[in-house]
Amino acid sequence: MTETTQKWDVAIVGGGMVGAALASGLAAQGFQVTVLEKQEPAEFVAESDPDIRISALGASSVDLLKQLEVWPRVQAMRSAPYRKLETWEWQTAQVGFDAASLGLPELGFMVENSVLQRALWQRLQQQEVALKTPARLQTLQACNGGWALTLADGEKLHARLVVGADGASSQVRQLAGIGIRGWNYAQACMLISVRCEHDAGDCTWQHFTPTGPRAFLPLFNGWASLVWYDSPARIRQLQAMSMAQLAEEIKTHFPARLGKVTPVAAGSFPLVRRHATRYVLPGLALVGDAAHTINPLAGQGVNLGYRDVDALIDTLTASRERAEDWASERVLLRYQRSRHTDNLLMQSGMDLFYFAFSTQAAPLRILRNLGLMAAERSGVLKRQALRYALGL
C-alpha cells in the first residue's frame, strides 16, 4: 500500500437515502467515514414541481431521521403527513387503517426522494464525513484486514469496512462476488405527478383491479402522486402518451373518488425482486436495495433500508464498546441475522399480497375479498399488522 492511500474506518459506496443516513449515524458515533457518490444531490427549489419518486416514510424511519437531526431539514423543505390508509378490490370489502387507532398523530409522511437525499447531504456537510463526489468505484480487493478501493480517477482508499449502499445493481455486491436470488414480476409501475382540483387530503389509498393496483399518495399544496401498475407493454404505451392523453386514461381507469387531476410528469420502472445470498463478508456489508429489493406495493423499500441502517449502527457501536474487532465477519453476521428474516418476511408478505390479487379466478377473488372483510373487522390483528409495517 502506498503512502498516498487514504485510510478510513468505513467507506460507504452510495450516498443516496440509505447510504447517507448510515454515514450520518456512524459519524455521530465517532467512526471515520467517507462516502463515494456519483453526483451531489441538486439544491432544493421551493417553487419546483415534486420529484416523481416518492417514499412513504413510516414512524420508525421518521424517528431515525430525527435522531440524525435530519428531519427538521426535511420539514423545512417539503413533506406531507398521511393519517389514513385504505385498500380495496370490492367497495364492500374495504380495509382502512388510521393513525388515531394507534394513538399516533400520523401513520407517516410522503417525502420526495430528492428532498430526503438533499436533507441528508446537508447534515453530512456539517459532520466530519469525507464526501467524495463525483466518485466511481473501479476495483475492490480484500487487503490488510480490510478492503482496498480504487476509484475511476485513480484515487486509492483503504477501509476496515466497506458498505454497499449503491442500489439494486450494486457494484460492491458484484465486485465482492455476492450472488442474488430473485425474479422479474409480470408487471411494471408508472409514477405520475398530478395537480388535484381539490385538496389532496391525508388519506393514501390503493384499489386492486384485474390488471394491477392503482394507488394515490397525497402530497403538498394540492399535489399528489399516482401509482399505476400494469403489464410492461401497457406501461410503455402510457409512457408514450402526451399529458392530455394520459389525463383521459387516468379518468377512465382510476376510481371516481380521485376527482379531476392534471398530470404534469411521469416515469416508469420494471418491478424486480432481488435478495442477496448473504449481506456480509469479512469487512464488508450490504444495506438497502443492494441487499434486497421489494415489490413497492406498500412503499416499504426505504423503510426496510432504514431498519438495516439502524441495525448496522447498533451492531458496530455495541461491538466497538466491547473492544471486539467490529469489522470482523463474526460481528457483521449479527447484523445479517438481525435483518435477513425481517426483510425476507416483508418481501414474501408483499409477494403473497401481489400474487393473491393478480389472480382473476373467481373462487380466489371471493376468498381474498372475504379476507379483506375479515381483516377490517379483526381489530387487534389489524392494528398489529399496521404496527409491524410502520416499524413500531
Per-residue pLDDT averaged across 2-18, rounded?
A: 88
Evaluate whether 171 touches 180 at the Cβ level (below 8 Å).
no
65-81, pLDDT tens digit by residue?
Answer: 999 999 999 999 999 99
Query: Cα(first)–Cα(last) distance of the chain, in Å?
Result: 46
The single-letter DSSP state of residue 198 is S
Q: What is the overall mean pLDDT for the chain? A: 87
Name residue, grid cell 409514477. 191
In one letter, which amino acid is 128?
E
Q: Would you state the torsion angle of the CA atoms of residues 71, 72, 77, 80, taken in this order, to the nearest 10 degrees? A: 60
Evaluate whether 289 touches 301 at the Cβ level (below 8 Å).
yes
145-154's contacts with Cβ under 8 Å and 24+ in sequence apart are: 145/283, 145/327, 146/283, 146/327, 147/11, 147/283, 147/284, 148/1, 148/5, 149/11, 149/13, 149/36, 151/36
For residue 179, which of 255, 72, 286, 83 has the smallest C-alpha distance? 286
Look up the pTM and report it: 0.89
* Res 376: pLDDT: 45
Give 208's pLDDT tier (boundaries 50, 70, 90). confident
216-229, pLDDT tens digit by residue?
Answer: 999 999 999 999 99
* Residue 43 dihedral angles phi and psi, to the nearest 5°: -60, 150
List the grid coordinates of 242: 402526451
Q: Residue 329: helix, strand or coil by DSSP?
A: helix
